[in-house]
Amino acid sequence: MLRIFQGFSAAYFVLKAIVLKKNALAIPQTESGHLSLFESFSRPAFPKMPFPLARDNKHTDPQRPITKYSEDDLESLLEGLKDPLILVLDGLQDPHNLGACLRTADCAGVDLIIITKKHSAPVNETVKRIACGGAENVKILLANNLRNTLDKLKKLGVWIAGTSDHKSSQSLYQANLRGPLALVMGAEGDGIRHLTGVTCDFLLMIPMHGVVPCLNVSVATGVCLFEAVRQRRFAKKQKAEG
C-alpha cells in the first residue's frame, strides 16, 4: 500500500529511506504548482517507520467548507473596516507553513488573508489541521495576479508593507504599522518576488541577533503581525486616555 505525504519533514524521512533502503520514491512539484513536494513509499517495506502526518485537533471541523474569495470580492470584503489588517502570502509552498500562518493570522485578528493562486500550497486537509481552525475562521482571497491585487488595495487606502532583508528595509520596530495595512510575507527561501517588492509602499526587516540570518516564514509572520497588534492597541489606549 502506498502512503503519500506533504511537507519538508516528510521529504527528509523519505530521502533518508532512499539512502538506507533504496526503496522509496520522491516526486517533484506538480505542473499545477499546488504541492511543493510529494513523497510516497511502501508501508510493508518500512513497518516501523513513523508517518509525520498533522494530528487531529478539536478546533478543526473536517466537514466545514472553506469559503475562498476572488479579486472581485476585495472591495466588499473591506467595506466597513476602518483600519483593516491584511496578511498577504506570496507563494508559500509548504502546507505546514501555510497552516501555521493561517493559525497565527486568526490569533492576531487579521481581517483578510490573500494567497497567490499559483505557485502556492492549496488550503487542503493538512493546512486545515495545522491551522487549528484558522483556515475556517479567517476570510481567504485567492489572487490570480498579486501585483494587481496590491494595486487595488492601494486604491482602497491600504498601505502595503513587504518583508525583505534588503538594505533599504527599515526595522519592524521603527515602522508605523497602525492604520489600514497589508503585510506581505514571502516564500520559503526566496522571500517576496521582485515585482511584489517594488509594488510595496515600504519594506520591513526583523533584526537578527544570532548567526542564523532569518526566521522561518511562519515565525516571522507571527512576529510581524503581533508587532502590528501591539502598536494598534497602544494607539487605542492613548486615544482613550486622551
Q: What pLDDT, on the 0 to 100 scale, is given for residue 29?
A: 45
Kindly state whether residue 177 falls inside one of the protein's structural domains: yes
Domain CATH for 100? 3.40.1280.10
Q: How many domains does the chain have?
A: 2
Residue 177 predicted with pLDDT over 90: yes
Q: What pLDDT, on the 0 to 100 scale, is given for residue 47?
A: 46
For the record, the C-alpha cell of 204 comes out as: 520591513
The whole-number average pLDDT for the span 82-104 is 96
Q: What pLDDT, on the 0 to 100 scale, is given for residue 44?
A: 43
Residue 8 predicted with pLDDT over 80: no
Q: Do residue 117 and residue 213 come from a single domain?
A: yes
Phi-psi category of residue 50: left, alpha or beta, with phi > 0 → left and psi -120 to 50 → alpha: beta
pLDDT level of residue 235 (50, 70, 90 thresholds):
confident
Report d(CA 88, CA 193) in Å as an integer. Answer: 12
Q: Do residue 114 and residue 16 come from a single domain?
A: no
Phi-psi category of residue 119: left, alpha or beta, with phi > 0 → left and psi -120 to 50 → alpha: left
Q: What pLDDT, on the 0 to 100 scale, is given for residue 80?
A: 93
The model's pTM: 0.75
Read off the pLDDT of residues 38-77 as tens digits, 9 standing for 90 and up. 334 333 444 444 444 545 555 555 566 788 999 999 999 9
For the record, the C-alpha cell of 213 comes out as: 540570518
Q: What pLDDT, on the 0 to 100 scale, is given for residue 101?
A: 97
Q: Do residue 26 and residue 106 come from a single domain?
A: no
Residue 5 predicted with pLDDT over 60: no
Q: Do residue 145 and residue 188 come from a single domain?
A: yes
Question: Which amino acid belongs to residue 242?
Answer: G
Q: Do residue 211 and residue 145 come from a single domain?
A: yes
Q: What angle do CA 29, 33, 35 make, to 5 degrees?
A: 60
Q: What pLDDT, on the 0 to 100 scale, is given for residue 106?
A: 97
Q: What is the residue range of 103's domain?
A: 68-241
Q: Do residue 145 and residue 209 come from a single domain?
A: yes
Q: Do residue 123 and residue 193 come from a single domain?
A: yes
